[in-house]
Structure 1
Amino acid sequence: MGTHLVTGAGSGIGAAVAGRLAARGQQLWLLARDAARAEQLQADFPGSRTLVADLAVPGALAGALARQELPDALDSLLHVAGVLEPGAVGEFTVGSWEETLAVNLVAPAELTRLVLPALRSARGHVVFLNSGAGLHAPPGLGAYACSKFALKALAESLRAEEYPHGVRVTTVYPGETATPMQVRLHARLGLAYDPDTCITPGSVASAVLTALDLPRDAMMSDLMVRPGC
């Protein structure tokens, strides 16, 4: 039985990934920002275990996790949680920049650091859910794109550093996906939203599992997923 730590399992891609792993009989550890969310995740994924820590406060992660039981070995750490607030660079506030970078970049880096011993023990796999905006920065999403460009750099450095320890690192770049985040983004930008033109969360989850299932003689470093036709 594999053991997997998933962030963002409450909805969208994270919920789809957690659901696929649970259906395989895998052991899930799900990160929740508070006790209420942890209770909901355990109801959604019976048999799962939860860790309570707020990704919006990366500096508190070490203390929060030190007070909780952690797995001794992790087959994967799946960074799916993220925030997206649209806004032009000329209008974005310092607070919005800090929140975006905290959740999308600093927290994944810190969480990875904290569980690296468990990943090394299992020769595990770190997966970063990035975005098409992590490769091409669109107007109005500067802060989000900056956080995702930086997340790409984090993954590349981590991949090189952890190769001697047998830890694999994959970045997945989904295009527009039918998630609550996509609904909110279209509403904020005043754009029509058609889920039929988007990737389903299940299809992105399939891509993630493909990377996890790859035999040990190979590694998918970067995986782009685009809407089909």
Structure 2
Amino acid sequence: MVTGASSGIGRAISLRLARDGVRVLATGRNEQALKSLVKEADGAGLALDHFPADLTDADEQSGLLDAVHGCLGAVSVLVHSAGAYRRGQLAGARVADLDLQFAVNVQAPYTLTQRLIPDLRSTSGDVVFVNSTQGLAASAGVSQYAATKHALRAMADSLRAEMSSNGVRVCSIYPGRTATPMQEKIFQAEDRTWRPDCLLWPDDLADIVAHTLALPARAQVTELTVWPTHRP
């Protein structure tokens, strides 16, 4: 299962895993975007299912789990790619924005993973957290976002320590700026010229996730930082 699959990195990961023969259920809040994803997969002869859900809503999360178990059975791969981003200096940033980012970036992946732990144990599965370089070191103006990404890193580290005896692998990937719709909005907010050619592309991250999952069970990548070669 891949979250945040409506666009950007999550969308690219969904298509890449489907190309590798993985049975994928893609989820996100934008149903039309998910339908477009499925249409593209169908056109390429790939098997890809979708289920729209707001993962911050407990009832919608329950509906998603019912759908994924009906479609896939036990989940063996869980990729967390959904995220929310708000800018603002700490002195004036709205607490409501912090609450939103915490709900999407921390609480939703926490509760979803928690509810899928029996599946992951039974399958000796994989969990991939698509984090951010802001989860390693925070820049000015993103204290709220970076705080949630640091929390996500802590969650992944703790989960790895708790689940390794069950053969569950947990990987955190920290991408630098990536050419996604969200990043384009960030460039606009920063009053910068949009230069996707100087950024990572979603397919770059999808390739990394696919190669990480393809490692033999005896090996795991725990953390991986990926920067654009020419930083914008």
Shorter-chain TM-score above 0.5? yes
- 1:164 positional shift: 1.4
Return the alpha-carbon distance in structure 2 between the equivalents of residues 203 and 66 of structure 1. Answer: 29
Query: Do structure 1's residue 7 and structure 2's residue 3 form an aligned pair?
Result: yes
Return the alpha-carbon distance in structure 2 between the equivalents of residues 29 and 63 of structure 1. Answer: 15
Return the alpha-carbon distance in structure 2 between the equivalents of residues 149 and 93 of structure 1. Answer: 19
Return the alpha-carbon distance in structure 1 between the equivalents of residues 37 and 119 of structure 2. Answer: 22
- 1:1-229 alignment to 2 at 5 Å? 5-33=1-29, 36=32, 38-46=34-42, 47-57=47-57, 59-65=58-64, 68=67, 70=69, 71-229=72-230
Report percent identity of matched pairs.
38
Instruction: Provide Cα deviations, 1:141-161, integer angstroms capped at 9, x if missing partner.
Output: 111100100000000000001
Instruction: Provide Cα deviations, 1:14-37, integer angstroms capped at 9, x if missing partner.
Output: 111111111122211111326555
- Shift in CA distance, 92/152, structure 1 to aligned 2, threshold 3 Å: same
Question: Which stretch shows the higher mean deviation, 59-68 or 188-197?
Answer: 59-68
- 1:194 positional shift: 1.2
- Shift in CA distance, 62/200, structure 1 to aligned 2, threshold 3 Å: closer
Normalising by the residue count of structure 1, what TM-score does the alignment of the two structures yield? 0.90
- Shift in CA distance, 66/223, structure 1 to aligned 2, threshold 3 Å: closer
Letter in 1 for 2:48: S
- 1:228 positional shift: 1.7
- Shift in CA distance, 198/36, structure 1 to aligned 2, threshold 3 Å: closer
CA contact (8 A) 1:34 1:54 kept: no
- Shift in CA distance, 193/37, structure 1 to aligned 2, threshold 3 Å: closer
CA contact (8 A) 1:101 1:147 kept: yes
Return the alpha-carbon distance in structure 2 between the equivalents of residues 197 and 38 of structure 1. Answer: 27
- 1:103 positional shift: 0.5
- 1:60 positional shift: 3.5
